[in-house]
Amino acid sequence: MLEAGDDVTYAIEPPRPLDAQAEAIALDVVYEDGDLLVVDKPAGMVTHPAHGATDGTLVNALLAHVEHLPGERIRAGLIHRLDRDTSGLLLVAKTDDALGTLGRAMQARYIEREYRGIVVGVPDDPAGTIRGAIGRDPRNRMKYAIRSEGKPAVTHYELRERLAGASELTFRLETGRTHQIRVHMAALGHPVVNDPIYGRSDSRLPLPGQALHAWRLRFKHPRTKQMLSFESEPPPEYLATLALFRRSEPGRG
């Protein structure tokens, strides 16, 4: 037992350098050509290696699918990312030229991304825009919050369907901050359903985490300049959750 005045000496090993190895993990490839591919990421899969999730990520799967991907290896080919429990469409570059062109397009907000999400309650306005700079929460480094010194963030939302005690919204992002939709909706008083960080988990729901799905992606091909547009139906767990809220609504069977 320690007593007042005792000195305690200890050593913490430095974290191991992050790396990404190819892993034979099944990918849902929506589109692929010599320049890029669009994949549909399942909920529960981390986008790229990080401390605490060094394997089994989307990047590990991509490295097995494409022998050489541009950019930093642990983020190989990625133009953007999705939270672990957010499912849906992700854009990946296969060449240095595509990575540069699409990266600049993302920064200039030329790549259109839309999400579907189920939130607690129904917003007062059926459509609106949330503007709030996002930065680390000083009280919890695992969370983000609206902070004056944060990075600018803009989220547009629109009511898709009223449910029992909830609603399904579509979201269009102007910026791509970490946890952006989740932070903005929690600040609005309508956190995403089953969000363990910004709302609360509900064990009755079949979801692994928050009810959020990246369902539409539209961008100009970096080489041919052709406009490409893709849509992805939400996964069964999301649709089952939607059905549960529909059945709970008065007047529905």
CA distance 95 to 41: 21
| Residue 15 belongs to some domain of the structure | no
| Residue 5 belongs to some domain of the structure | no
pLDDT (tens digit, 9 = 90+) per residue, 162-217?
Answer: 999 999 999 999 988 999 999 999 999 999 999 999 999 998 899 999 999 999 99
pLDDT over threshold 50, residue 253:
no
Phi, psi of 155 (to 5 degrees): -125, 125
pLDDT category at 76 given cuts 50, 70, 90 is: very high
Token pair belonging to 85: 């429990």
Residues annotated as catalytic are 83
pLDDT over threshold 50, residue 49:
yes
pLDDT number for residue 250: 52
More confident residue, 67 or 82: 82
CA distance 181 to 15: 30
| Residue 240 belongs to some domain of the structure | yes
| Residue 12 belongs to some domain of the structure | no
pLDDT over threshold 90, residue 248:
no
pLDDT over threshold 80, residue 159:
yes
Neighbours of 11 (CB within 10 A): 5
| Residue 21 belongs to some domain of the structure | no
- Domain CATH for 142: 3.30.2350.10
CA distance 219 to 213: 18
| Residue 196 belongs to some domain of the structure | yes
| Residue 16 belongs to some domain of the structure | no
pLDDT number for residue 176: 86
Please report, for residues 96, 106, 128, 147, 177, the alpha-carbon distance to residue 79 in angstroms, rounded to integers and kept in the order given: 12, 7, 27, 25, 13
pLDDT over threshold 90, residue 249:
no
Q: Which residue has the tokens 């692929």?
A: 32
Number of folded domains in the chain?
1
- Structural domain span for residue 215: 29-247
| Residue 77 belongs to some domain of the structure | yes
pLDDT number for residue 127: 97
